[in-house]
């Protein structure tokens, strides 16, 4: 079996490559940032006519908070990547595509106010509604449009699976993301320990092992409707910081930076559809412990 992973040098992409290889796939990675190939996905979509048993499209531009809020023109490249990939998949008759969407595609109306926020279920995004709602910044618009492209490719005969990861994290995550940044600050025993925003923002943290295993379970079950990759459990930034510092063995003062990008107030997924296929195995406490052991090495 042959698989292609775009964005193969990124956080999700490199874990997906490893998991597919473990499953017996011959994996071809494609990432302009890769120190090995430095191959541009757009060039592949123009020139490569090979057929794969599975295409995992994880390529995107810097999907972290600072870039989402501070680099709105990333929308142009993300839309170009997604449209080129789906057009190529239809043209070359790819057998199966796994599209990594995002929880950022959900309407922010459900997430901006703690008083009205609620778990996000897949049916909150429906393209047959007059008002589909406003997603989270340009990155959310890109993923929402990508899902529309996914539906078009599906109608054209490609088997497409769409997953919406929530706050993925893991021991090798970069410091541009909250979990990676918190781990680095705890390793340095920073005091005060700075948190972007108020610290009260709630997220649904799902370990990268469960992101990858859950996504591949969706493919194996041949589910053709979008599926949240989430736990259904919300944890605030300040509580995550406390967990990380406790694992590091110190008790700092916590400071907040209200000028820094913070995102929505409450983003927790409804895992009902996922739980019919797969149940996450790594708790947040275990994930923090794993990451700290890895850092300590």
| Average per-residue pLDDT for the chain | 92
Encoded tokens for 56: 């995992």
pTM: 0.94
pLDDT digits (tens, 9 = 90+) for 2-55: 999 999 999 999 999 999 999 999 999 998 876 666 678 999 999 999 999 999
Q: What is the pLDDT of residue 296?
A: 45
* Cα–Cα dist 137/145, whole Å: 13
All domains in the chain, ordered by first residue: 2-171+205-231+270-281 (3.40.50.720)
Per-residue model confidence as pLDDT tens digits over 62-75: 665 555 666 777 78
pLDDT (tens digit per residue) in 96-118: 999 999 999 999 999 999 988 89
| pLDDT, tens only, 182-215 | 999 999 999 999 999 999 999 999 999 999 999 9
User: Scanning the structure block, which residue is given the tokens 């757009």?
Assistant: 42
């Amino acid at each position: 079996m042959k698989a292609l992973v775009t964005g193969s040098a990124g956080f999700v992409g490199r874990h997906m490559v490893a998991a597919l290889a473990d499953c017996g796939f011959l994996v071809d990675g494609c990432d302009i940032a890769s120190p090995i190939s430095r191959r541009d996905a757009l060039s592949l979509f123009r020139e490569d006519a090979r057929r794969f048993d599975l295409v995992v499209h994880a390529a995107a531009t810097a999907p972290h908070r600072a870039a989402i809020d501070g680099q709105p023109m990333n929308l142009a490249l993300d839309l170009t990547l997604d449209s080129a990939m789906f057009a190529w998949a239809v043209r070359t008759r790819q057998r199966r595509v796994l599209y990594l969407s995002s929880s950022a595609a959900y309407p922010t109306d459900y997430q901006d106010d703690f008083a009205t926020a609620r778990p996000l279920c897949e049916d909150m995004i429906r393209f047959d509604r007059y008002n589909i709602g406003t997603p989270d910044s340009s990155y959310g618009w890109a993923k929402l449009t990508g899902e529309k492209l996914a539906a078009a490719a599906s109608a054209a005969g490609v088997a497409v699976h769409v997953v919406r990861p929530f706050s993925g994290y893991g021991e090798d995550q970069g410091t541009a993301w909250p979990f990676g940044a918190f781990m680095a600050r705890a390793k340095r025993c920073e005091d005060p320990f700075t948190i972007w925003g108020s610290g009260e923002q709630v997220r649904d943290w799902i370990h990268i092992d469960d992101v990858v295993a859950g996504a591949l379970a969706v493919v194996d079950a041949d589910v053709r409707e979008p599926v949240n990759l989430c736990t259904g459990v919300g944890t605030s930034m300040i509580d995550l910081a406390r967990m990380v510092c406790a694992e590091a063995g110190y008790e700092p003062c916590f400071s907040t930076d209200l000028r820094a990008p913070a995102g929505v107030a409450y983003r927790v997924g409804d895992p009902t559809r996922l739980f019919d296929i797969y149940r996450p195995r790594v708790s947040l406490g275990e994930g923090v412990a794993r990451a700290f052991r890895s850092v300590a090495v």
